[in-house]
A and B are shown apart, each in its own frame.
Chain A
Amino acid sequence: MEELSLHILDIAENSIKANASFVTIEIIEDIDTDKMEIEITDNGFGMSDKMIEKALSPFFSTRTTRKIGLGLPLFKDTVEACEGSIKLTSEINRGTKVYASLRHSHIDRPPLGEIADTILMLVISYPDRDFLYRHKKGNREFTFDTREIKEILGTEVSINHPEVRSWLLETLKSGEKELN
């Protein structure tokens, strides 16, 4: 994957397949400590301890449900190449958390890339799920919460309505821009 935002999209797809109704994506960039943290948390059906162990291996997949394939091992590879580590925690019927921490300035660290596109694709492809996206960079922070948006839209207008879609992309792009 050329961008971290593509890994994030891939991992979040796992959450959807695990039947999560709420997915949180959090990115924390701290230049002072030279750290970048990425956390994807869901309330899906979770994994057993045995499954967690296997989930990071490329030779494991829950083929029938396709919950996990090459996605996590690829992400792990990227993270570890940047002097980082990945941690998987999960509880059956409660959800799963994928946490990665990597060296911000590492030469092999892929750029975050078009994270706005990643969030938009998830939000409009799964209008019945909720997403909370938070990106912290130094002392600046951008939060995007579909629950807030849906509260305004009500039941009459779907979040993937074309008029709304442009607003979503604009909101995500300008929110990201203001972090720099």
Chain B
Amino acid sequence: MNLEELRKLKEKAQADLKVRAESAKIKIIVGMGTCGIAAGARPVMQAFLEEVERRNLKDVLITQSGCKGICAMEPVVDVEIEGEKSITYGYMTPEKAKKVIAEHIVNGTPVSEYIVSTQG
């Protein structure tokens, strides 16, 4: 491990510390139960991470949850935006993840054809 590089990164990261974690207004939660993992949740989460990074989106937290019982629709992803209804996407793929970022997260329009349920 190149720890020297990590030290430099830390200084850089400290500069824009206002972001993330508790302050995140948008949460993307990828189902990582056995069902989710088997259906391809890991590359879906990877795609979300890459896309958020590429677009340098602040205030987006990507995390994971266990199986929520709709295994047949895995990979399942929940998008929670402060003050809005939580939306569940099903049958996700890395390509669909990119579209969700572009249309839902950036432009504010949920991708209706991927939605399997809406709560709240």
Can you report 9 residue pairs joining A to B where beta carbons are below 8 Å apart?
Answer: A6-B42, A13-B33, A74-B34, A74-B38, A121-B32, A156-B10, A157-B10, A164-B6, A167-B9
A157: chain B residues at CB < 8 Å are 10, 13-14, 17
**How many interface residues does A have (CB within 8 Å)?**
37
A158–B32 touching, CB < 8 Å: no
How far, in whole Å, are A161 and B62 apart by their CA atoms in the complex? 11
Which 8 pairs from chain A and chain B are nearest by CB? A71-B34, A163-B13, A157-B13, A70-B34, A125-B64, A161-B13, A10-B37, A163-B9
A118-B42, A161-B13 given; A149·B6 CB < 8 A: yes
How far, in whole Å, are A162 and B48 apart by their CA atoms in the complex? 12
**How many interface residues does B have (CB within 8 Å)?**
32
Q: How many inter-chain contacts with C-beta < 8 Å in the A-B complex?
A: 86
Residues 145-180 of A contacting B (Cβ, < 8 Å): 148-149, 152-154, 156-158, 160-167, 171, 175
**How would residues 1 to 29 of chain B score, 1 for a CB under 8 Å from any chain A CB and 0 otherwise?**
11101110110111001001100000000
Could you tell me the dominant secondary structure of chain A's interface residues?
helix
A9–B9 touching, CB < 8 Å: no
Q: For residue A145, which residue of chain B has the nearest CB?
A: B1
B67: chain A residues at CB < 8 Å are 66, 69
How far, in whole Å, are A156 and B15 apart by their CA atoms in the complex? 11
B108 CB–A CB distance under 8 Å:
no
A13–B66 touching, CB < 8 Å: yes
How far, in whole Å, are A118 and B42 apart by their CA atoms in the complex? 7
How far, in whole Å, are A163 and B58 apart by their CA atoms in the complex? 12
Contact of B1 among A17, A154, A163, A171 (CB under 8 A): A171
